[in-house]
Each structure stands twice: as structure tokens, then as C-alpha cells.
Amino acid sequence: MKSIEKIEKQFQKLASYQHLAAICGWDQAAMMPDGGNDARSKAMGDLAVLCHETLTDSRMGEWIAAADADASLTNEQQINLREIKRAWTQATQLPSELVERKSLLGSKCEHEWRSQRGNNDWAGFAENLKKVVEASREEANTRAAQTGVRPYDAMLDLYEPGMTTEKLDVLFSDLKSWLPELIQKVLEKQKSTPVTEPNGPFDTNKQATLGKQMMQILGFDFNHGRLDVSAHPFCGGVPSDVRITTRYDEQDFTSAIMGVIHETGHARYEQGLPKSYAGFPAGEARSMGIHESQSLFFEMQLGRNPLFVEHLATLAAEAFGKQGDAAFSLNNMNAVYKRVKPGHIRVDADEVTYPAHVILRFEIERDLMEGKIEVDEIPVLWNEKMQVYLGISTEGDFTNGCMQDIHWTDGSFGYFPSYTLGAMYAAQFMAAMRKTVDVDACIQALDFAPISTWLEENIWSKGSTLSTEELVIQATGEPLNPEYFKQHLIERYLND
């Protein structure tokens, strides 16, 4: 058997383990009773070690070296080998003991966070978070020592290959130079636009039915996925079995429905990944920034388009028996979904203020990973930055402040920048798509096939066969250009 075939066989085995880990993780967040957490955490820790040891098998280095020297590899095999080498290199940077320890600490921190957040229990949460941060710093420093980059860049590369702190500093400094003024202009403009809040309660079963209706309209394949409930919305599972979740508020259906549309964008990307590379790194999503570009494309570029909101308003009025209710009129629902209002919660933020939430988290986690700040300093820093960026105080309110996100509970430091990078990519993809697709006509007719085709041809089917920069250039004709995002916000919120 050729070396490349041995490698591919090993990765197919790894893909099966990762499949099980993904479904166990979904069940832990969405279905598992609280009493099962200790045993599940232990099982998932053992599974994480099994995945790590499968990937770092002592024979892999020899096989990869032999495959590298094999001149008979097809182009597809060469692409696969490149991404396999990347995954193997990242895995071999860490000892199994650290992988297991971080998994166990993350499971405990995330599980206890669910109740601690509701109880505003920063002291209890901080006790667990300190251990997660300690393990994550160990990971960051270990990776940095072997790659010659700064610790935060080592973590960032796990989510955004090719992205660096230096590049982010440039992008986010530019954002901070014009975003505050734009927020104030939009707030001033919207003072003359009254908004009527849809009056609940809204039955959660009806919200779920409406959400599934939106998913179906947007092309979600229910034969290979499902919708459930969790404390924090997410998209998990595997491409052949995509699990998305949302959370419901009986007094406000608008957040859950748009959250479902957001997660559907993630799911469509997963369901559209190249089948020829299934089970291999080349068949996975290119980066979390590109992944977020798809969810934000669905939520912001499509879901909040006035033509889509018109359909949503009609369907929502029917679902909740609110036909004739002024709150469900097109003008009012447009105002609801275009409303800009600085708030505490990132996942509920409008697209104008959202980048401020991301920049705040980026600045804190960057300094946290590099030892410039400690966990105990987070609440004060969070409050200071919220006041500077959004004019909001979070002093003493940990639930709606520094405890609101799930990402740090498992040590996902380096993830947050992906959200705003995704918004930038999404705006650039829409600008490119409009050159060949009549997007508004498609939305008006609820015919998303041409839109899906463009995304599949230019984004989904590429998987990780291209670098992020190559992917964006092939799809749009130029590298990431944040000007498209700026113009999108100006057009939607100031020039309508």
C-alpha cells in the first residue's frame, strides 16, 4: 500500500472518531440531562485523546515524508496531503496529556457556566476559567515556541489560517476610525422611525415551526440535519448530519428566527462541502471567518434584505395569528430588523454595533493569551471597553457582560475575530454575486437556487482546497477588502 493510501486510511478512521465526538458534543449541549455531565466529560476527554493519538501516530511522519516524495500523486492527492500535513503539524505540537486536560477543563467550565451565568456568579465561573486559561496559555506558548510566532497568533492560526494579530490590528483600527461616528449617525437618523414591538407571548412550538419553514425556504436539507434548542445557538455535527440549535424567548420571536437563519447559513456551507474530500482536511471549511461569512450572508445579506423581511413578516403573522396587526406590517418589521441600538448581548446585536463587540473580545483575549492581563481583570476591562465603544455599563452585571459567551469556556481563544472577518467577507461576496445574479429578484420570488449555485460554485465546493486569500480572490477578483462592508452599512442604514 502506498504511503498516501495509508495516510488516507488513517484519516478516514479519524473522521469516524470526530463524527462521534461532534454528535456527543451536540447531545451534551442540547439533550443530555445535567446528571450525565461528569461521565460524558470523561468520555469526551478520552475520545479527544483517541483522536489526537490517531492523528499523531508515530508512523504518520514517515508516511507523510514518503508521500511528499511520491511523484505519482494526483493533483487531488497533493491538495489533500498539503492539508493533512497542516493538521498533523498542529496536532504534533501538543502532548496528549495537555489535549486531555484541556478537554476535561473545558467540559467542566462550559457545563457549570450554564447555571453560573444565570446566577451572575462571576466568582464561581472565574475559578473554572482560570484553569482553562492556564491550559490555553500553555497551548499557545507551546505552539508559538515551535512556529516562531507570538502566542496569540499561534491560537489565531487554528481558526484563521494566514491571519495575524498585525493584520487584525490594521483592520480593526480602520473599523474603529469610522464605526463610532456611523453608529451615532444611524441612531440620529432612526429617531424619526417609530418601531412597534411585536406583542407576545409567542408560543415556542410555533416559533420552531416558523424557523423550520425559513430553513426549508433557504434550502436546508432536513434529511441530513435537524433543529434543536440549546443555551447558546450553534451549528455542530458533521456535513452528512448537521445539527443546528437556537434558543427561544416567548416575548420576542424575532431574535430566535434570525438566529435560525444565521445557523442555516453555517449548515448550508457544511452540507455543500466537497464530497470527494469527505473525511479529509481538504474537505473541511476553509476557516471560521469563511464559515461566519456564510452565516452572516444568510442572516445579514439575505435575511435582513427588505424583500426577505416582507416574506418573513407575512409568514410570522400567519404563524402567530397576527394578520392585520400593525407590528407585523412590512414597514414595521423592516424597522425592527434594521434597528440599531447599542446593547449588552453580542448575539442579539445589530450588524452596525456588532463589530464593537468583537473588537472588545479580541483585545481582551489577545492580552489574556499573552499574559498581559489576568482573568480577575476581565470584568473591569469589559466594562471600560463597553463604555468606550458602545456607551454601556456592565459593572456588576456579569450575566450580560463578560459571562455571556460560551467560547472561552472551552479555550477557543482566537475565534472571536472570525465574526467580523465573516461580515467583511459576506459583504464582498454579495457585491461579487450581484454582478451575475439578480439577487433581489431571487429573494422576491423565494427562488434561492441561483444564489445557492453561486455560493456552491465559489465557496462551498472549494472546501479547504484553496487558501483563504486564494478563495476570496477567485470568488471576487480581489483579496479581502473591508470597504465593501463599510459601504454595505452606509447603503442599508444611511442611504435607504
Length of the chain: 496
Which residues, in sequence order, are CB contacts of 196 under 8 Å at separation 6+? 326, 327, 332
Which one of 263, 292, 365, 456 is the catalytic residue?
263
Q: What is the amino acid identity at position 268? A: R
Three-class SS string for the chain? CCHHHHHHHHHHHHHHHHHHHHHHHHHHHHCCCHHHHHHHHHHHHHHHHHHHHHHCCCCHHHHHHHHHCCCCCCHHHHHHHHHHHHHHHHHHCCCHHHHHHHHHHHHHHHHHHHHHHHCCCHHHHHHHHHHHHHHHHHHHHHHHHHHCCCHHHHHHHHHCCCCCHHHHHHHHHHHHHHHHHHHHHHHHHHCCCCCCCCCCCCCHHHHHHHHHHHHHHCCCCHHHEEEEECCCCCEEEECCEEEEEECCECCEHHHHHHHHHHHHHHHHHHHCCCHHHCCCHHHCCCCHHHHHHHHHHHHHHHHCCHHHHHHHHHHHHHHCCCCCCHHHCHHHHHHHHHCCCCCCCHHHCCCCCHHHHHHHHHHHHHHHHCCCCCHHHHHHHHHHHHHHHHCCCCCCCCCCCCCCCCHHHHCCCCCCHHHHHHHHHHHHHHHHHCCCCCHHHHHHCCCCHHHHHHHHHHCHHHCCCCCHHHHHHHHHCCCCCCHHHHHHHHHHHCCC
Peptide bond into 201 cis (omega under 30): yes
Active site residue 263: yes
Cα gap 401→339, rounded to integer Å: 21
List the catalytic residues. Answer: 263
